Amino acid sequence: STLACILGSSAKMALAARMTPVRATGITRSRRVNVVARATPEQRVGLVAATGALAAALVCSPAAMADLNRFEYNAATEFGAGTALQYGEADIDGKDFSNQDLRRSNFTAASAKKANFAHSNLQGAYFIKAVVFRANFEGANLSDTLMDRAVINEANLRQANLQRAILTRSDLGGADIYGADFTNALLDKLQQQALCRYADGVNESTGVATRKSLGCGSARRFRASTPSNPDGPQPTEDEKDAFRASLPKYFE
């Protein structure tokens, strides 16, 4: 295994450091001088650490590393949670990742346009600088994900759990966020305001309203914020007729 390889290499180097004195040679114009000095215990420890690491890198076989990778995968990674699959900078456009355990997986700078992550567990996954244009995250667990500087335009985030997700400098233009839960998520103010313009629904898993999770103001106050707002209350036909009747008549 990798551990045995490192320990074996370190033991050999420790034995060599104990038995072999440090020898240095100096050359001057008049004569050649050989200087022999024995290493101190502190020097030996540093020598063993440095040479052991170098020996492990040079001596350990790829088979040992494969065994270590297999062990970590079976043990659910060093964090003990998730599969931690690696798709960094990969081209996975249109791939189907639905209904999978993808916790702590790495999709950094990946191209995942129109990929399907529906109902998958992506808690703690990395989507930094990823392109997930029109990707399907419906019902997915995206809590604690790092999705900053990502392209999430027109993505399907219906009923997704985005609690504590980092979405700074990401573009969610046109994303479907009906029922999505953004509780304690970190978004840019302008992005938050843009999403609040049409946020609606309640997350079925957490029971939190999308508008509340985004910290949106009152929808009624927003619609009535300005008279020219097309989403605001519009006058009825009777009110229009009453207004016309109130106008002065200059011509019969």
Give the pLDDT score at 57: 58
Mean pLDDT of the 67-77 span: 54
3-state secondary structure of 222: helix
**Span 78-124, pLDDT tens digits:** 444 557 889 999 999 999 999 999 999 999 999 999 999 999 999 99
Other beta carbons less than 10 A from residue 244's beta carbon? 8
Question: How many Å apart are CA 247 and CA 191, to the nearest integer?
Answer: 44
227, pLDDT greater than 60: no
Using CA atoms of 211, 216, 221, 227 in order, give the dihedral in degrees to the nearest 10: -110
Mean pLDDT of the 59-71 span: 57
Across the strands, what pairs with 146?
A: 126, 166
Using CA atoms of 111, 114, 120, 122 in order, give the dihedral in degrees to the nearest 10: 30
- In 3D space, the residue among 44, 47, 22 whose CA is nearest the CA of residue 35 turns out to be 22
**Span 135-167, pLDDT tens digits:** 999 999 999 999 999 999 999 999 999 999 999
Distance of CA 120 to the CA centre of its chain: 15
User: Mean pLDDT of all residues in the chain?
Assistant: 77
Question: Which tops the pLDDT comparison, 109 or 230?
Answer: 109
Range among 33-47, 51-65, 181-195 rated most confident:
181-195
42, pLDDT greater than 70: no
Please give the backbone phi and psi of residue 86, each rounded to the nearest 5 degrees, phi first. -110, 115
Using CA atoms of 198, 202, 208, 212 in order, give the dihedral in degrees to the nearest 10: 20
Question: How many Å apart are CA 242 and CA 252, to the nearest integer?
Answer: 18
Q: Give the pTM.
A: 0.58
